[in-house]
Each structure stands twice: as C-alpha cells, then as structure tokens.
Amino acid sequence: MREPAREVEVDRRREVPRTDAVLADPRLQAAAERLGRDPVKAAVRVAQQQVRTGELAPAEVADAAVAALPATAGGLRPVLNATGVVLHTNLGRAALSSAAVDAMVAASGHTDVELDLDTGKRARRGRTALAALAAAVPRAEAVHVVNNGAAALVLAATALAAGREIIVSRGEMVEIGDGFRLPDLLESTGARLREVGTTNRTSPADYAAVVGPATGFILKVHPSNFVVRGFTSAAEIPQLTGLGVPVVADIGSGLLAPDPLLPGEPDAASTLRAGADLVIASGDKLLGGPQAGLLLGTSALVERLRRHPLARALRVDKLTLAALQATVAGPVPPTWQALRYDLDELRDRTTRLCRRLGLAGAEVIPSVAVVGGGGAPELQLPSWSLSLPSTYAEPLRHADPPVVGRVDQGRLLLDLRCVPPSADEPLLRAILAAGR
C-alpha cells in the first residue's frame, strides 16, 4: 500500500517547474527590480513547495508567487481606514497630504538639508521646515523638532531637570500608550518627580509650596486621552508663571492655533500666550503631519535643548523635515478634511456604494466617528456607515487593499470619511470578493 504513495510523491516532484523558468516570468522579473531578487525567489520556493504537497497545480506557481509579493519593498501595506477613527494609532495616525508625500519623494535623494547652496558651507539642519513652523506660531521665539512627542519631553527633562525636580500634578501622571507611563519616562532621564495635589484637585498653592532651588521646571500635561469629571480643579498656566521656574506644557495632540471644531483642545499659540516657556506637541496627530515632536518656546530654552548632546540622538531625518514643512505651509491635510467631512456628502457617497453592491444585509446607518490618537476624547462626530454582516471583517482585512472597519453589536461598520473617494472602486471590489 505504501508504494503508490511514493510514486505520487515522485511524480509531483518531477512536475515542479524549475526556479529559473519561473523567474523568467515578466511579472516576476519586474518584481525583482522593484523588491530585490531574494524576496522573489523566496516566494517562488513557497509556491513550488505547494506543488509538492498537492496544494497547487504546476502551472500556477508563477501566479501564486506574484500574488504573495508585497506591493513595495518597505513591507508596510497601505490600508483603507474605514474605522471611523480619524487618527488610528494602529494604522499610523495621520495620513499625509499629497503635498507632504511629494515633498518626501523630492527629499529622498541628495538634498540641501544641511548645506547653504549660496555659500557652499554647512547650514542649520532643516532650516526651511523650522522657519515654516515658526511662521505658523509667531508667539514662539524659537522652535525645534525631534522624532516624536515623548522624545521632546525626554529632551526637556534631561536638559532642564536631570538630577533635579519636575513638579507635576498627580492628576496629570498619565499613561501615554502601549504601557508607557509618564512617571517612568521622566524618571529615566535622571530627574526626580515632585507630585502635588490630588488626582482630582490641584491648586496653584500646591505648586508654590514646593518650588525651590532643586526645581528644574513645572510640567503641565494635557490629559488628551481621558476626562475626569465631578469635583475637580486644576491650576492654569497663568497662575504658575510667577513662581520663578520655567513652565513646560505638553499639549499632546498638536494643534498650532485654536480650532472651533475642537474647543477643548489646547493649542500652541494660546498656550504660549498664556505664559508657558516651552510647549511640546506631536506632529502626527491633529496637525496632520509626520511623526515628530515639536518644541516651541523662548529662545533661551529652545537653544539650550537644541545644543544638548541628546538632541543629536533624537534628531529627525530629511524625509520628516520635508513632510513637516509641506504640512505646515501647504494645503490642508487629510486629517483636517476628515474631521470636517460634509455629512450629507458622506451619506450620499455611502448610499451610492451600498446600491452598487446590491448585497442582502447591506444598509446605510447613522454612526459616530471619533478623533482618536489621544485627542479630543469626548468629541463625537456624527457620521454614516455602511453596515455589513460581521463575517465580512476578516476577509476584508485580507483584501487587496486591506479594509479595516469597526465591529459593533454584531455588524461590521465601514465609515468612509477617512477613505479617499479615489479608493471607492477598490473598496467595492474588495467587499464583493469578501462576500464570495
């Protein structure tokens, strides 16, 4: 009984097409130029093994290898964000504007990032991006950029308070995500934390009582991803500016100026006007740009941070600088557009998609979208979603392109406010394929 099984195995091995013959497929040759030869050969070997196990016909090896290859060598797959969460951390937060993408492409080769073309001598790194940021926030005497918001806070703590104390309210000792906590982050710099007040109430007198020669600075942290209600109070920045030490404000989400849509979110201009000596913010949240940590404040403090040795380890690359400048000085980014998506237009677009699908169980329903990314935790954006059976969720995540929605009460909701209209056709095809 065993002999026939060995004969089948031998036959299958003889049927496996040679690697060089498969690699001669024009599609795989083009993929090798785009991705490199090794990943393409690896995909071919996997497909050949599927022939040996009987999972694949010999003539399907090239097709299977092509299907298994990523679109780019970067490894990250573009995803359609239909979750209704505008700044979805797991999906990379802010989507860049086309201007920012073009700027990154232009900066991908050799650039004048640290060269003055007029003199031929070294120039300040990213000077044009910094100038654009400074122009956007005239209240800032100076600006600097590092690689993310946490890095900006670490640089400030290291340069201003290593071996000294940082005064912070107990109600602002937040966890910033992925298990990282503000106290741990600050204490890793060698600074000591001096907690004042209580979880729900902290007064200006609490700060004044502990300011002394060992104080590095007072830290105000905006609780951007939670809200405390009830019997609460907090000291405002103007109440802390006369205590003789710098006031550093971490505003979190990255608004540069007031936004009527987000009245509860602090912005850099208003925070500086209130008297903060240094403002820290993120670039990839409400600003709608690349991941970056923004430092805006007095010339003396910003220059002290810029010249600290740690600043060299935290500096941003030329691609980030290019994208940041295009975001600050260019057209409104997708984040701004998604937050303000016309509700009637969104409903009509979703309805057209639903009708074209013609699927039983598909319907358009009112829903709620949120900002996400640790910003405006209480703001709810009225929205519309395409409702599908929850069984669509997994196949859509494996579609091309992957589509990520939100499962709610046994239904998959697809909110199109963060899906560009140019992606409607791929989305339609992905849903129809998932239904099959």
Residue 199: pLDDT band (50, 70, 90) is: confident
Q: What is the mean pLDDT of residues 151-159?
A: 96
SS3 390: helix
Residue 218 pLDDT > 50: yes
Going from N- to C-terminal start, the domains of the chain cover 2-68, 80-92+336-435, 98-331
Q: The pTM is what? A: 0.87
Q: What does the alpha-carbon distance between residue 410 and residue 423 come to, in Å, rounded to a whole number?
A: 26
Q: Given the structure tokens 């403002």, which residue do they identify? A: 279
Residue 264 pLDDT > 70: yes
Nearest one of 63, 49, 39, 43 to 15, comparing CA atoms:
49
Residue 230: pLDDT band (50, 70, 90) is: low
pLDDT, position 15 = 84
The amino acid occupying position 128 is T
pLDDT, position 70 = 83
Lowest pLDDT segment from 179-183, 405-409, 418-422: 179-183
How far the first Cα of the chain sits from its last, in Å, is 40
Pairing of strands 192-196, 293-297: unpaired
Residue 226 pLDDT > 70: no
CB 211 within 8 A of CB 167: yes
Nearest one of 170, 188, 174, 247 to 215, comparing CA atoms:
247
pLDDT, position 255 = 92
Which DSSP symbol is given to 191? -
Helices (H), 282-413: 299-306, 309-313, 318-329, 334-339, 343-357, 393-397
Helices (H), 174-308: 182-187, 204-208, 268-273, 299-306
Residue 301 pLDDT > 60: yes
pLDDT, position 95 = 96
pLDDT, position 7 = 46
Residue 177: pLDDT band (50, 70, 90) is: low
pLDDT, position 379 = 84
Domain 80-92+336-435 sits in CATH at 3.90.1150.110
Q: Encode pLDDT of 362-399 as tens digits.
A: 999 999 999 987 777 778 899 999 999 999 999 999 99
Q: Encode pLDDT of 10-66 as tens digits.
A: 556 678 999 999 999 999 999 999 889 999 999 999 999 999 988 899 999 999 999
What is the layout of strands, in order, in the sheet containing 165-169? 142-146, 293-297, 278-282, 247-252, 215-221, 165-169, 192-196
For the CA atoms of 401, 406, 410, 413, what is the dihedral angle to 10 degrees? -80
Mean pLDDT of the residues in the chain: 91
CA distances from residue 324 to 101, 283, 294 in whole angstroms, order as listed: 10, 8, 10
Q: Which residues pair with 387 in a beta bridge?
A: 363, 413
Report percent pLDDT > 90 for the chain: 75
pLDDT, position 378 = 74
- CATH architecture type of domain 98-331: 3-Layer(aba) Sandwich (3.40)
Residue 8 pLDDT > 50: no
pLDDT, position 294 = 97
Residue 422 pLDDT > 80: yes
Nearest one of 229, 163, 172, 168 to 199, comparing CA atoms:
172
Q: What does the alpha-carbon distance between residue 287 and residue 371 come to, in Å, rounded to a whole number?
A: 12
Residue 120 pLDDT > 90: yes
Q: Is the dihedral angle over the CA atoms 198, 199, 205, 209 positive or is it negative?
A: positive
